[in-house]
Amino acid sequence: MSPIFPINDHKDSAPSTTVSPDPLRSSHACPTTPPTPALIPDTQGRFDWRTIPRRHSIDQYSQLPLGKPSPRPSVQHTFGAASIEAKNGIASRKEAVREVFKRCWKSYKDRAWTKDELAPISGGARYTFGSWGATLVDTLDTLWIMEMRQEFAEAVDAAVQIDFGPKIDGEINVFETIIRYLGGFIGAYDVSGCHDARLLNKAIEVADMAYASFDTPNRMPVSRWSPKKAVNGEEQLPAESVLIAEAASASVEFTRLSQLTGDMRYFDAISRVTNVLDKQQGSTKLPGMWPISVNMRKPDLTFDGFFGLGAMADSVYEYLPKMHQLLNGIGPVAAQYHRMYEYAMSTAITHTLFRPMVHDNADILIAGANVDGKRDDKGQHLVCFAGGMFALGGRLFENTTHIDIGRRISEGCAWTYKNAPNGIMPEVFSMTACPTWSACDYTSQPDSSPFSEVGDGRYVLRPEAIESIFYMYRITGEAKYQDIAWEMFQAVSSHTRTEFANAAIRDVMKTPVEKYDSMESFWLAETLKYFYLIFSEPDEISLDDFVLNTEAHPFRIPSR
């Protein structure tokens, strides 16, 4: 490895990030191929996670596939030359989203600066994800995208001071650390044009900590992992029962970091997990899908009978087509992700999706679950991401059926928003299924609740519904999705508004809604970003140039 890494040339000046012109649209300094030799980070005298005792060494690292990107169709619709924002008052919608974001950011800055979350009702701070400043890091790239460059520079200056050393007693959630912090630093580095080496240094610092959680006998990660034990050289083993999303969702972040640094340890780590998923994909109780609960110590992914694309599994599926795209479709590794995607989706289509019986016979689908071989007709807010995933996969792999399924799932989420009493979908609900995906006779009263049961009535400021509507808009170019988004935005922003920011709702089925004191970092990192981007010019974070991680952090696809 090379001992030389771009030196931090910004350290004493604040604000310090100066980049021009706008790297979202023009020149950037991101590598088109991984640097050789690999970069070594400048840890600025902070704790160096590379120095901790290693228990299980590796003979040979898997290498990122190199070569000519395979030709693939555009993901995005070919939009005309005319400005989208100028049309139909779209610019004012975009500005309205920005205003909501700015208000939240100001309160975070005034009241919870560098803390994990703003408490949006009491105006205090919350410590939820490692106490390193989850909202600060998670929001960096949104600040850049919303052209709040001064605020971006101030936030970067604060974020690069975070100490990820082993101070925390107890365990951290490695998955959340990877998607919010590592994803946040990579996203900020990529969208701002790869000019500020401090951001890459920070990404490496977080990744080196997370990488230590893979130092186990079978190289499967420890999902709830103690930094202190690792530093003390204590053995930590992968759990015998762990959520698959936590165990197997680091592929996009670790791959992008290997692309940016040339350090193959990260790519190697996630390749080993992918190979286990691949090997056992056909031996589970619902072949093609992996259950929610898995044993990573053996590893054995075959014992549990609870399956679904939603909570606790979601990002495992989401990352299959995204990995193919991030790898530019190159070689057998990209083909592996494609194959796994096709297999998983064919099972999910047959065994989890259903058409709900609704009064207006809307042609929509809900992504349910499957328990011990029987479909469970429950919907969740979290699973709404699947609309975007199917549409993206359909575009990447030229599968119009998947695009149509993506449309029907996305519109199913929009339908539940529209037909819920306050215009916001609950967290978990049940609906009566039609016998097939064709229209069926409606047997309830048109003014009754669209849900046969609401298992969890909260709305916690989640992004997945607008995420899928955003994908549908960028993929089809149909303006109706901007109108759906605007309706959703108005409902969400008004019902969640507090004195300081926006807060989660306890029960969306009650009027007036009751809020509680929580604003997770994904509100600023994801939800408002998607609302903003759907009203932006389509070349702002084009889906042909960027892959978005599961926390909506845009990672640049190399060579494009």
Task: Identify whether 398 is a catalytic site residue.
Answer: no
Task: Identify whether 537 is a catalytic site residue.
Answer: no
Which residue in the set 550, 553, 554, 557 belongs to the binding site for ligand DMJ (CB under 6 A)?
Answer: 550
By CB under 6 A, is residue 551 in contact with ligand DMJ?
A: yes
Site string for ligand DMJ, 355-384 (x = CB under 6 A): ---------------------------x--
- Closest approach, Cβ 88 to ligand DMJ, in A, equals 29
- Closest CB to ligand DMJ among 337 and 522? 522
The C-alpha atoms of residue 162 and residue 153 are separated, in whole angstroms, by: 15
- Closest approach, Cβ 398 to ligand DMJ, in A, equals 27
The C-alpha atoms of residue 158 and residue 260 are separated, in whole angstroms, by: 23
**Long-range contact set of residues 126-132: C-beta below 8 Å, sequence gap at least 24:** 126/517, 126/518, 128/520, 129/173, 129/176, 129/177, 129/180, 129/181, 129/521, 130/168, 130/172, 130/173, 130/176, 130/177, 130/181, 131/168, 132/162, 132/163, 132/164, 132/181
Task: Identify whether 240 is a catalytic site residue.
Answer: no
By CB under 6 A, is residue 427 in contact with ligand DMJ?
A: no
Strand partners of residue 443: none
Which residue in the set 314, 411, 427, 545 belongs to the binding site for ligand DMJ (CB under 6 A)?
Answer: 314
Within a 13 Å sphere around the CA of 165, how many CA atoms are in the beta-carbon half? Answer: 9
550 is in an annotated binding site: yes
Instruction: Look at the block and give the residue holding tokens 């950011």.
Output: 105
- Closest approach, Cβ 142 to ligand DMJ, in A, equals 14
- Closest approach, Cβ 463 to ligand DMJ, in A, equals 6
Query: Using CB under 6 A, which residues numbered 174 to 203 contact ligand DMJ?
Result: 179
Catalytic residue among 22, 171, 176, 376: 176
Q: Reduce the DSSP state of residue 367 to 3 states and report it.
A: strand
Task: Identify whether 314 is a catalytic site residue.
Answer: yes
Count of residues near ligand DMJ by CB under 6 A: 9
By CB under 6 A, is residue 315 in contact with ligand DMJ?
A: yes
Query: Using CB under 6 A, which residues numbered 438 to 497 contact ligand DMJ?
Result: 462-463
The C-alpha atoms of residue 510 and residue 490 are separated, in whole angstroms, by: 18
- Closest approach, Cβ 526 to ligand DMJ, in A, equals 6
Query: Using CB under 6 A, which residues numbered 507 to 536 contact ligand DMJ?
Result: 522
- Closest approach, Cβ 495 to ligand DMJ, in A, equals 17
Contact 278, 290 (CB under 8 A): no
- Closest CB to ligand DMJ among 324 and 529? 529
Contact 179, 139 (CB under 8 A): no
Instruction: Look at the block and give the residue holding tokens 């100490």.
Output: 163
Pseudo-torsion of CA 500, 505, 506, 508, nearest 10°?
150
Burial label, 163 (beta-carbon count in 10 A; 0-12, 13-18, 19+)? exposed
- Contact set with ligand DMJ (CB under 6 A): 179, 314-315, 382, 462-463, 522, 550-551
Which residues have a catalytic role annotated? 176, 314, 427, 464
Annotated binding-site ranges: 550
Annotated binding-site ranges for Ca(2+): 550
